[in-house]
Chains A and B, each alone.
Chain A
Amino acid sequence: MPAFILQFAHCHEDFRLAELDALSELEGVAVRYDAAGYSAESPILVVEMDSAASAAKLVRRAILIRSVSEYWGSGATYAELFAEVKRTPGRWNEFMQKSFKFTVEGFGRSLTQKEKVAVIESFSFLGFEGPIRMKDAEAEFLVCEEYGETDLPVPPETPKKLWFGRIVGRGSRHLIDVFDVKKRKYLGNTTMDAELSLVMANQALALPGTLVYDPFMGTGSFLLTCAHFGACSMGSDIDGRQIRGTAGFRRGVNGISANVAQYQVADRVLGSAVFDISRNPWRAGALFDAIVTDPPYGVRAGAKRLGRKNGTVPQKSFTVIDGVENYKRSDYYPPTVAYEMSAVVSDLLAFAAERLVVGGRLVYWLPTVADEYEPEDVPLHPALRLVANSEQPFGSWSRRLITMVKVAASPEGAGPQEAAHDPAHKNFRDKYFNRFEPL
């Protein structure tokens, strides 16, 4: 299969291959690459796909891929690169008379306009006769000089590698601006940033015809991004104020319906409800194609569930106020207790195992303590297979975007597997407020 150059955006390195795999699956484009040989230090990954059309299709929804190019050559020096390009002169003919554009970029070093022009002129051996067009050129070429990142105050003098190709497709990074939370009509203090909300929609394989659910919807970010890609979405939360808009940062905009209108996804954001996911009213059976969520870690949003402290009896339900039993009044709010992180996650897996269709995906954030984390911390379940685990580091703690796929109907009485030791995310809230010092 012909080779192509993927040019990644310079962020969220640990999420790149996971998104690539998700895109391959949701677009139905086979892609071959050497995962073991790939280092996140490089913005370039060479892959094999069957055609330029497939390549363009693969990246069209990508959030972490900037462009995909037909591989024309690479090398440690321009001499090496030119030698490789000159081995396939046959492919230059197609572009002889076409308008063209060269984009020259340095990774790890800024190139001056003068340097870029010199590079472009060094490619004159291609013999293109068409006009140069900065906008809407018929053929676009990418030269990437990979210097790599360094801790030194000056960038490296010589590049590690040089890459050259013909751009055949671009990703959808422009969506980050479209969904920018600063521009969003309604948000809350736990609203996920646009970039990662969009990556999650790709991890979930959100597609027209699918139904996605968020059990900790907050202000509904994932309902929006999944709906943008054509999926229908539903959400719920124990806190109705976040949904209705009485607790968010921008009051008076009617909550998530303001966002639904802003992004024109009213036809696909099907609804939201107020309930505790640990005591949920969904009927039995496989209902959802994907569950996409950021469960509360107990830090900014108190992770809570319905319940009363051990040993107490229901007290306030039946108190009669103004002739009506308390629990029937519109201002009644049932008591809640803390919902410990490892229980949140364990329950989430059990729920996903039951309510996902086979082949459906669970995509969720797992907070973890950097010094304590071990891969065995990631909870497993017999009905779910772990597909991806990408880390977003914050210093002493990280959160990991976990993707699991349901592989089988849940065996009778099967539950999440107990870890041999306490995972790093157990009692996460206490650890966070203790600044991750040993308790």
Chain B
Amino acid sequence: MRLITHNMLKCHVKNCTDPDKQFPLRFKDVQLEQIDAERNNEFLVRMLPRIDWPALSKTTKELDITLPETVPGNPEDDEEFLQALHTAILETHIKQGSMLCDGCGHEYKITNGIPNMLLAEHEI
């Protein structure tokens, strides 16, 4: 699972609705892997407005990944920024571990890079 996907997922357990707690999900016991990928600046720039930057910032700090605190004024011209963004959201893979919800405590397991986000019987 890449960080770009993680940035778009929240906890959806019934009655877990506190926006500050249900997103972003907190990583636990993760195994990371860096895999090179071809950079596409057009994609990065188009996705920027859809990325929740404070959440990404928080998550990258937890994982010890470098990322600028704020988005520069002209990101499309900032090669260094785009490379850092690319490495963080597209080249960082979470292979194993889980994502924890600070609101309700639900633990979503990640196996071979695929998160299981099925809810239990009592959570829907």
Contact = CB atoms under 8 A, between A and B. Distances in A.
Interface of A: 208-211, 230, 232, 234, 236, 238, 240, 243-244, 254, 266-267, 270-276, 279-283, 285-287, 306-308, 314-318, 327-328, 330, 332-335, 357
Interface residues of B, number: 38
Contact of A283 (B42, B52, B111): B52
26 contacts: A209-B42, A209-B45, A211-B46, A234-B5, A243-B114, A254-B112, A266-B35, A267-B37, A273-B1, A274-B117, A275-B116, A276-B118, A276-B119, A279-B124, A282-B10, A285-B50, A306-B119, A308-B121, A314-B120, A314-B121, A315-B121, A317-B121, A327-B123, A332-B120, A333-B118, A357-B50
Interface string B48-87: 0010100000000000000000000000000000000000
Interface of B: 1-2, 4-5, 8-12, 23, 35, 37-38, 40, 42-43, 45-47, 50, 52, 90, 107, 109, 111-124
A270 B23 CA distance: 20
A267 B38 CA distance: 6
Contacts of A267: 37-38, 90
Nearest to B44: A209
Give the top 5 A-B pairs by smallest Cβ distance, nearest first.
Answer: A327-B120, A209-B42, A275-B117, A314-B122, A314-B121
B56 to A, nearest CB: 12
A214 to B, nearest CB: 14
Given A273-B5, A281-B11, A286-B50, A238 B118 contact: yes
A232 B43 contact: yes
A334 B119 contact: yes
Given A273-B115, A275-B118, A276-B119, 7 more contacts: A267-B38, A270-B4, A271-B114, A275-B116, A316-B121, A327-B121, A330-B109
B115 A283 contact: no
Given A283-B23, A308-B121, A208 B112 contact: no
B8 A283 contact: yes
A29 B123 CA distance: 50
B82 to A, nearest CB: 13
Contacts of B23: 283
B73 to A, nearest CB: 21
A328 B50 contact: no
Contacts of A271: 1-2, 4-5, 113-114
Given A287-B8, A334-B119, A273 B52 contact: no
Nearest to B36: A267
Contacts of A272: 114
A378 B101 CA distance: 39
B120 A209 contact: no
Nearest to B89: A270
A236 B37 CA distance: 22
Contacts of A332: 120
Given A271-B2, A281-B11, A208 B43 contact: yes
A279 B114 contact: no
Given A243-B114, A271-B1, A334 B121 contact: yes
A330 B112 CA distance: 14
Contact of B114 (A232, A244, A285): A244
Given A270-B2, A271-B1, A271-B2, A307 B122 contact: no
Contacts of A314: 120-122
